Structure 1
């Protein structure tokens, strides 16, 4: 005899309790460890590669929602996302413009991953932009598992030497994806800078 049977609760009420318990167990993805037991940094995917619908993560409800612009879900007026955009959990980047602090953004270059996918990653560089008069650091990475990689750079110099066209594509995409957000290219930094950036903003 189960606990619920002994209480003689109606079946619909038992089902509701189970759903609520499961919802309460869902982990806030922003609170996952920044790196795993194998010492790899990990990323949470928010907007999949190939999407034209930018999303955001609602940590309070552990849900993925569309970004809103002018009262409507935002849709890209440009090409789809060139990688899986998301964040590094357990990081928090302060804004100098008074905006709310947010996790360090990351772009994982690989096949499309669903929102909420957690991946071990290898940082290969940092794309530095100026957005609305504020520096924006985008960590660029590939999956740590070779089976999940579509390109396989092992460092920033390797990335630059073997995949210069990928760098150009990313530069042009981020300069063009939102015409209402003034954006300038400030350059690239290597994986050592990426590591220092991660250590700086980890909670």
Structure 2
């Protein structure tokens, strides 16, 4: 009888630990219509991490067998993606930067989109959603609209713009425009997988 209990416990533990979350296909919005973000790179990190849809794991981005690092200032916020979105034929999700305390890779956060920063990289327009946590107690930036963010934190807005333009040594990136939260909401809906 004790052997049977031990076997059941062992099988249960193995099944539980072998289950992986499919972060890419989590709902874009919670049941209460709150936008979700999946964090890949914690704030303050230089090492680039990506979610691998095939293995359902967070892995280091490599180039020529070496881990890629941002050879600039570390990430100014928690960088990741909005689940169940797809912005290109490669299957890439809509990127998001959440301005808050550091959150580890694999953290799923409820967020409020302040807007979108549009960048041009190698001739293509690339949107990046800029957001804050939905819970006011988790915010380091007291803003829920782009207008408030621009008015109260103009230096932070400039820092984000400069970081994204200068953080890649290989891509030719230019700043295009800031777009407000209404534009961000439309873009998120546009890129949602149906």
Task: Please state how far the C-alpha of 1:60 moved relative to its aligned partner.
Answer: 2.2
The equivalences for 1:137-152 within 5 A come to 137-152=127-142
- SS of the equivalent of 2:54 reads coil
- Is residue 51 of structure 2 the alignment partner of residue 52 of structure 1? no
Q: Which residue of 1 aligns with 2:57?
A: 63
- SS of the equivalent of 1:93 reads coil
Task: Please state how far the C-alpha of 1:92 moved relative to its aligned partner.
Answer: 1.0
Could you list the runs of 5+ residues in structure 1 that have no partner in the other structure?
Answer: none
Task: Please state how far the C-alpha of 1:39 moved relative to its aligned partner.
Answer: 1.2
Q: Which residue of 2 aligns with 1:132?
A: 122
What CA distance in whole angstroms lies between the structure 2 residues aligned with 1:159 and 1:20? 47
Residue by residue, what CA displacement relative to the aligned partner does 1:112-163 show, whole Å, maximum 9, x if unpaired? 0010111110000101001121111000000000110001112111111111
Task: Please state how far the C-alpha of 1:38 moved relative to its aligned partner.
Answer: 1.9
Q: TM-score, normalised by structure 2?
A: 0.92
- Is residue 11 of structure 2 the alignment partner of residue 21 of structure 1? no
Output the aligned Cα RMSD: 1.9
Give the total of aligned pairs.
193
Q: Which residue of 1 aligns with 2:158?
A: 168
Task: Please state how far the C-alpha of 1:26 moved relative to its aligned partner.
Answer: 2.1
Q: Which residue of 1 aligns with 2:4?
A: 5
Contact kept, 8 Å, 1:43 with 1:120, in 2: the verdict is yes
- SS of the equivalent of 2:177 reads strand
**Which of 29, 35, 41 matches 2:29?**
35
Structure showing greater Rg: 1
What CA distance in whole angstroms lies between the structure 2 residues aligned with 1:126 and 1:65? 26
Residue by residue, what CA displacement relative to the aligned partner does 1:29-81 show, whole Å, maximum 9, x if unpaired? 11111111221101010000000101000122221111112321001211110
Could you list the runs of 5+ residues in structure 2 that have no partner in the other structure?
Answer: none
